[in-house]
Structure 1
Amino acid sequence: MFKIGEFAKLNRITISTLRHYDAMNLIKPVKTDELTGYRYYSAEQMPLLSRILRLKEMGFSLEEITLIIKGNTGKDALMELLCLKQTEVQDAISREEERLNSLKDYMSYLNQEGKAMEYDVLLKKTDNIKVAGLRDLIPEYTAQGPLWEELGDYINKNHGKMVPPCMVIYYDSKELLNAVDAEVLEGITGELKGSDRVNVRYLEPVQAACVVHKGPYSALSHAYEALSAWIEEKGYEIAGPQRELYLKGEWDSESQEDYITELQIPVEKKKLP
C-alpha cells in the first residue's frame, strides 16, 4: 500500500485532488489509519484512477464520471456517452473557431482604421422579384441554416427553379427578447405553389438605403455602421424590415473575402415634429 502523498506522485496528481475524489466517493482509500488518519491506497486502484482522469480530460464533469463509475457503465453505453461528448466537443471547437475568426476580423479592421473600405450608400427603389419565402423564429442571426435547407428542399421537390438573388428579411418583433424573426427567400421562376410554410409572392418594391459589402459575414457590422450613419445624416428613418441579399457566397466562392452582400433598409424622410 502507498501513503496518499506517494500515491498522488505516482499518478501525477495532487493530494487535494485525491481527497476531493474521496469526498465524492469516486475513489476511496483502501485503508485509513485510525490513529493517524493517514489514507492508504493500493496499486490495484490505479486503473480506476486512470479511467477517472481520462474521462475528466475528455470534458466529463465529476458528477458525470461518478454516474459512469458507480453505474458500472458497459462498453456500449460508454461508447454512446463518448459519441455524445465527441459531438459536444466538436460543437465547442466550431464556436471557438468562429470566435477566433471574429478576433482576426476585428484585428484586421483595427489595423485598417483610417484606410478601411469605403461604403457608397445608394437610395433606390428595390426590384419587384418573384420569391419563395420561409419565415420562422431562430435563436440567433447566424442560425439560418435549417430554414435554407427546408426552403431549398421544398422548391426542389415541387420542381421549382431557383434564380439569384437569395436573401433574408429580418422582421421587427418587439415582443421577442431571445429569438430572431427571420424569413429566408429564394428568387424563383415558374409556377411554384406555396404551402402553409412557404409563401410564394412578388416582393413588393420599397425605397431603401442600400450598400454593398465585400468580405465575410462577420464583418457586416461595418457596413451596417456606414448605412446607419447615412440614414441619420440624411434625415431618414427606418420604414420597414431590413434585407440582406447574398450576391456571392459559399456556393461560388472559395474565400470569405470574396463574398458580396447587399444590405437594404427601407427608409422614408423623417417627419418634422
Structure 2
Amino acid sequence: MLSIGEFSKICGVSTKTLRYYAEIELINPDEINPENGYRYYSIKQLKKMLLISRLKSYHFSLDEIKDLLDAEEDQSEERLSMALARKSREIQEKASALEYTLKQMSHDMFHLQKGIPLMSYLDDIEVQLVETPPMNILSMRQMLSRDDYTAGYGKHFSRLYEKIAAEKLTLLGTPMTIYHSPDYNPAGNDTEFALPIKEAVQGTRDLPGGLCAKSVFKGSYSELTSVYARLRKWIEDERYEWVQAPYEVYVTDPHEAADPESLVTEVYFPVKKK
C-alpha cells in the first residue's frame, strides 16, 4: 500500500487534489485508517490515476472523466475511443480559432505600426440597402444559453435537414438563424433556426420580405459582432429604424470551410425609413 503522500509523489498530483477527487468519487483511497484517518492507495490504482491525468491533459472535464470511468468494462474501450475522437475534433476547432486570432492580431499590429487606428476596420464593412423577397421557411425555435452558442448550431440544423430528407422536401437555400430576443441574455436567447423550402408543411412559416440593411462578412463567426455594430450605426446615421428580428444567412457550410477565414455570412436587418 502507498500513503497518500507517496501516491501523490509518484503520480505528480497534490494531496489536496487527491482529497478532492475522493470527494467527487473520481478515485477513492483503497483504505482509510479508522483510527487516524490516514489514506492509503494500492499499487493497482496508479494506472487509474495516470489515466485520469492523461485525460485531463487532453482537456476532458472531471465530469467527463468520471463518466468514462463509470462505464461498464465491456463498453469502456469503445466509449473511450469515441470520446477521444470527439475531443480531438473540439481541440482542432479551438486550434483553428486560435490560429485565426493570431493572424488577426498580426494584422492589427501591422496597421497600428502604420498609424492606422485599430477599430478603423469597422468603416470598411460595406452596408447595402436591399429588397428581400418573402420566403417559406422550415424552422424551429429554441432558447439558447451562452454555452449553447459556443457549442454551435449543428445539431439544430441537423434536425431540420432530417425532416427535409424524410419528407422529400425541396431545399431552396442555405441555413439561416433569426434572433428574436430584443437584447443579449447569457441565460437564454430566443433563436430560430431555419431552412428555405418550397413546400408548405407542418413546421413551416412565411418570412416576410422587405427592405433590409445588409452586410456580407467573410471570416470567423466570432467577428460578427463587428458587423452588427456597423449595421446599427449605419441604420442610425441614415435615419432608418429596425423593424423586425435580424437574421444571418450562412452562405458557406462551416463543415466544408477549410478555415474560419473562408466562412461567408450575410447579415440582414429589416428596416424602414423614419
Task: Sort the TM-score into its range (normalised by shorter chain).
Answer: 0.5 to 0.7
Counterpart code for 1:150: R
Give me the whole-angstrom Cα distance separating, in 1, the residues matched to 2:217 and 2:127: 11
After superposition, the C-alpha distances for 1:64-83 in whole angstroms (9 at most, x for unaligned) are 88xx7xx9x97337558856
- Distance of 1:248 and 1:95 partners within structure 2: 16
Distance 2:121 2:189 in 1: 30
Relative to the length of structure 2, the TM-score reads 0.66
Tell me the SS of whatever aligns to 2:197.
strand
By how many angstroms is 1:150 displaced?
1.5
Higher-Rg member (1/2): 1
- CA offset at residue 244 of structure 1? 0.8
Q: In the alignment, which of 185, 199, 202 is matched to residue 204 of structure 2? A: 199
Deviation sequence 1:125-155 (CA, Å, 0-9, x none): 2222333333333334454222211111212
Q: Which stretch shows the higher mean deviation, 216-225 or 169-178? A: 169-178
Identify the match of residue 220 of structure 1 among 212, 224, 245. 224
- Map of 1:246 onto structure 2: 250
Say if 1:105 and 1:219, in contact at 8 Å, map to a contact too: no
Maintained 8 Å contact 1:8/1:18:
no
Stretches of structure 1 lacking an aligned partner (at least 5 in a row): none
What CA distance in whole angstroms lies between the structure 1 residues aligned with 2:184 and 2:3?
A: 62
* Equivalent residues in 2 for 1:119-198, closer than 5 Å: 119-139=125-145, 140-141=148-149, 143-172=152-181, 178-189=187-198, 192-195=199-202, 198=203
- The alpha-carbon distance between structure 1 residues 8 and 120, as it changes in their structure 2 partners (threshold 3 A), is closer
- How far apart, in 1, do the equivalents of 2:3 and 2:263 lie? 63
* CA 177–47 in structure 1, closer or farther in 2 if over 3 Å, else same: closer
Looking at secondary structure, tell me which structure has more helix per residue: 2
Superposition deviation, residue 264 in structure 1:
0.8
| Matched-pair identity in % | 22
Higher strand proportion, which one?
Answer: 1
Structure 1 match to 2:49: 52
**Deviation of the 1:221 alpha carbon:** 2.0
Runs (5+) with no aligned partner, structure 2: 23-27, 112-117
> Which SS does the other structure have where 2:44 is aligned?
helix
Q: 1:88-107, aligned counterparts within 5 Å?
A: 89=87, 93=91, 96-97=94-95, 100=98, 103-104=101-102, 106-107=104-105
The letter of the residue matching 1:47 is: K
Q: CA-to-partner distance for each residue in 1:150-184, whole Å, 9 max, x for gaps?
A: 11121222222112243221112679762222222
In structure 2, the partner of 1:209 is 213
Whole-angstrom distance in 2 between the partners of 1:144 and 1:18: 39
Measured in 1, the distance between the counterparts of 2:17 and 2:268 equals 62
